[in-house]
Chains A and B, each alone.
Chain A
Amino acid sequence: MSKTTDVLLRVSKLVKHFPIKQGIIFQKQTGAVHAVDNISFEVKQGETLGLVGESGCGKSTTGRAVLQLHRPTSGSVIFDGVDLVKAKGNDLRHMRRKMQMIFQDPYASLNPRMTVGEIIGEPMLIHKIAAQNEIEERVANLLNLVGLNPAFSTRYPHEFSGGQRQRVGVARALALQPSFIVCDEPISALDVSIQAQVVNLLEDLQEQFGLTYLFIAHDLSMVRHISNRIAVMYLGIIVELADSEELYLKPLHPYSQALLSAVPIPDPIASARRERVILKGDVPSPVNPPSGCRFRTRCPIAESICAEVQPDFREAQPGHFVACHFADQFI
């Protein structure tokens, strides 16, 4: 994986609230789901940033808000020098060529009435980057690239297995030769032996085309495997961000520590030896997030200040960001 310091994507103070409405004709907003609440991060050219967290923590919303599939409530998303939040119409469509998405469910994200060739060719038609007669050849090349037989271009999605469909999804994302791809849990719907195939494919493509990934997942071991840096999300905020090696060896936030210790290790001896932090209770509702630090209701080291003051997302060590009042004791 190549490492340069150019920042490709800078997200600052991104907020996405989904309104909760009541009434049928005269709708009144009665509250909001605080899906993403004021998060900032950067993605560097050619790197993979992993975004982990449990279901409902806002990681998918973040991915979609970055691509403007959900318009953010506030904040800015600067990609390649352009603020996507302010971009509209043709300007935005033009930017979309450079950023694509691979979706979680390979069964729901491919149109069942289109052939694989049409699915992969459609983005090229819309963005007019290839003439009709060239498209067939390009589709064949793309299918080859993702390890499918080019003769499959006339088949429909239902004729493929889950892993093969996800390869079609990858080919579609690559059709416009983007520089940045948001991978939204691309492997969680697949069987274990197939997951490794798709992850290896994503890594090969990254090397070949110098792609930048935002890799969203709940599987911490897979994220650690594929990412250069990892951001841990909890209830709409990033609680910790660090190099993946660093995050694993020295997690500073109590939530990251608990999350890491909850991941099962396929080794009975190592598994029996390690200490596990078991969190109590469930994730609170994002409609009424707890005051102060959002993790305090489940935190093993919470004190009274945690209920009053929301901890800053600060750089505790070079390149290692954390949002916790008491993180310094773990350095």
Chain B
Amino acid sequence: MPDLLLDVQGLETVFQTPAGVVHAVNGISFGLKEGETLGIVGESGCGKSVTMLSLLRLIPTPPGKIKNGKALFFGQDLIAMPNEQIRHIRGSQISMIFQDPMTSLNPVLTVGLQLEEPLMLHLGMTRNQAREHAASLLNMVGIPNAKDRLRDFPHQFSGGMRQRVMIAMALSCSPPVVIADEPTTALDVTIQAQIIDLVKRLRDELGMAIIWITHDLGVVADLAQKVVVMYGGLIIEAAPVEELYANPQHPYTLGLMGSLPRVDEKGHHRLVSIDGLPPVLYEKPNHCPFAPRCKWVTEKCWKENPSLLGVGTEHRAACWVDTKTGRAR
């Protein structure tokens, strides 16, 4: 499809560890359109962060290795391209906002220096131009006294403010794609609301596409247009946001929705929990990764891993069972 900004096909990433090979990402395909916000939801260890790091080739190699797959960005394959070339894409074309702003900012450099670096590198600005632009960036993300604060170090900012600095840095070269890896997980709810509000505003102003990784189904509902649910290194369900919440299909998605209490719930319900534990991916699963925890499990689930099947308009789920009727597909 030509209208895709980013087209990922069959991505596979493995890690060599002393205990064996960990199959973190097992063949993932998805597309991102211009200006679209895609939510990627899953629990820790499901491969959502590794997928994004693989796209930008930030996987430490060794022990990690991208085994297979393509990621086409404006027709160029990010996975196959030489290091020189991808370095020009990181930051200027695709940028990333990390989870923990304290460990991803350099503690011994001022915020100003860190903001100016990509501007000088990618946009060829002089130091003075970069300084001025950096101040306007801090202003844009709502940091008061932007000019003076450029001289401050990261520890002089609060958690929410640091995340604003990270966002300013990610947006500094106006990239068409921004990847946000759990950017609000380390923050309090009222600060999280501030940051989400800010991202929405900037998205409307600048029109970039966002990939938002999170484990919080609530945040995704608020922000994304399309949602992808991951489990065991695979995409198990993908749909537009309203469709997914109104009509979840995969047993894992159903379980996740049931295990969340809602602040607007009426009366007291017992939470629906998913029994068992998430898989450890020492072997590439040749059956459905969710089969050991699934209520609807059938014999076929243990023999063959289902691929994503269309279950509605733009709605795909990887399950052999129709959870609405309980019958096999």
Contacts and interface: CB of A to CB of B under 8 A. Distances in A.
A and B co-occur in one complex: yes
Interface string B217-260: 11111100000000000000000011001100000000111111
A261 B222 CA distance: 12
B224 to A, nearest CB: 8
Interface in A182-214: 191-197, 199-200, 203
Given A161-B277, A267-B245, A282 B158 contact: yes
Interface in A262-282: 262-272, 276, 278-280, 282
B43 A191 contact: yes
Nearest to A193: B274
B215 A192 contact: yes
A259 interface: yes
Interface string A50-92: 0000110000000000000000000000000000000000000
Interface residues of A, number: 43
B259 A196 contact: yes
Given A218-B188, A259-B189, A264 B219 contact: yes
Given A55-B188, A265-B221, A266-B257, A260 B161 contact: no
B193 A278 contact: yes
A153 B120 CA distance: 60
Nearest to A269: B242
Contact of A200 (B161, B190, B246, B271): B271
A221 interface: yes
A221 B242 CA distance: 21
B272 interface: yes
Interface of A: 54-55, 161, 163-164, 191-197, 199-200, 203, 218, 220-222, 224-225, 248, 258-272, 276, 278-280, 282-283
Interface of B: 43-44, 158, 160-161, 188-194, 197, 215-222, 241-242, 245-246, 255-265, 268, 270-275, 277-278
24 contacts: A54-B190, A192-B259, A192-B260, A193-B278, A195-B259, A197-B273, A199-B261, A203-B270, A218-B189, A220-B263, A221-B262, A225-B261, A265-B218, A265-B222, A266-B218, A266-B220, A266-B221, A267-B262, A268-B242, A270-B264, A271-B218, A276-B197, A278-B190, A278-B193
